Amino acid sequence: MRIAEMLTRSKPTISFEFMAPRNESEVDVLEQTVSTLAGHAPDWVSVTYRVRTGDKTLELVTRIKRQYHIEAMAHLTCANSADRTRQILNWMEREGVANVLALRGDDPAAGQRFVPADPQLAHASDLITLVKRSGYRFGVGAACSAEKHPESPTLDHEMRYMRLKVECGADFLITQLFMDNAFYFDLVRRARDEGITVPIVPGLMPIASRRSLGVMTAMSGASVPAALQAAIDEAPDDEAIRALGVRHCIAQCAELLEAGVPGLHFYTFNRARAPIEILEALRGQQLLAS
């Protein structure tokens, strides 16, 4: 089923992002996490894509669909040639994948810029165009930033290309992580003023540790609210930071649900504990159905 359709229902969707395993040592944790979170009945899930582990993304997406009967979306980036991209899309179509998240892709490493494998596929909008013009019937999602993308000079520049992705055929958007809901509400208001009507799903990252917070804020451009940063600075250890992160995320989700968001999308980093604690708290507050 198309995710965009689920996002227009009255009940907000709950979804989890899993990272395709980079090596054998990550497989067991991932399997455990997928099985645990599948028990929390997400409406849909998604699996990240890296060129070196692309096959793992496709395997995991199809297995989640078959084994757990959960709609699983494959991420796909501009890391391949147009021909290779069509091969991947053909494979997905044969396997019954219904939704693709079309992305430009992360920089390969800190300090190294993303270089497209094919000049025809330099941006997510090019990948969306390829999917749509080749006649595939996938639902297509795209990324957007609640705060400014690190490469964008201004928010207006960012909005121009977000709009282009929708004009090229993206039928819903998922935001990069943000820790202050004001950025999300402002993004949605500006998008609606621009005539962008597709659902915009907030992407949420419960903070796992001081180190992971540093890595993720540097990559995404997300800022940490001053009060949260002060509490993190005073926290004695990573377990205390994790607990603070869960509490902060619960408060964010509660406000987003009260505002009527189409769904909550959790960046799990292949860990189940924080999303479970957050969902249980939201159910306890009757903000989500049990």
Residues carrying an active site annotation: 17
**Residue (2 or 104) nearer to ligand FAD, CB:** 104
Q: Which residue is nearest to ligand FAD (CB)?
A: 104
**Residue (184 or 281) nearer to ligand FAD, CB:** 184
What one-character DSSP code corresponds to residue 96? Answer: T
In the complex, least distance from residue 119 CB atom to ligand FAD, rounded to whole angstroms: 12
Question: Cβ of 57: how many Cβ atoms within 10 Å?
Answer: 24
Contacting residues toward ligand FAD, per CB under 6 A: 48-50, 75, 77, 101, 103-106, 123-125, 143, 149, 151-152, 157-158, 161, 164-165, 174, 176, 203
In the complex, least distance from residue 69 CB atom to ligand FAD, rounded to whole angstroms: 23
In the complex, least distance from residue 267 CB atom to ligand FAD, rounded to whole angstroms: 8
Distances (CA, A) of 197 to 41, 248, 269, 274: 28, 29, 30, 31
Nearest residue to 26 via CA among 269, 243, 190: 269
d(CA 135, CA 227): 49
Residues 175, 203: contact at Cβ < 8 Å?
yes
**CB proximity list for 123: less than 8 A, separation 6 or greater:** 78, 104, 161
In the complex, least distance from residue 160 CB atom to ligand FAD, rounded to whole angstroms: 7
d(CA 79, CA 114): 9
Tell me the three state secondary structure of residue 184. Answer: helix
**Residue (207 or 281) nearer to ligand FAD, CB:** 207
**Residue (278 or 281) nearer to ligand FAD, CB:** 278
Gyration radius from the chain CA atoms: 18
Tell me the three state secondary structure of residue 23. Answer: coil
**Residue (114 or 185) nearer to ligand FAD, CB:** 114
Tokens 């621009």 appear where? Answer: 194
In the complex, least distance from residue 273 CB atom to ligand FAD, rounded to whole angstroms: 21
Torsional class of 261: left (φ above 0), alpha (ψ -120 to 50), beta (otherwise): beta
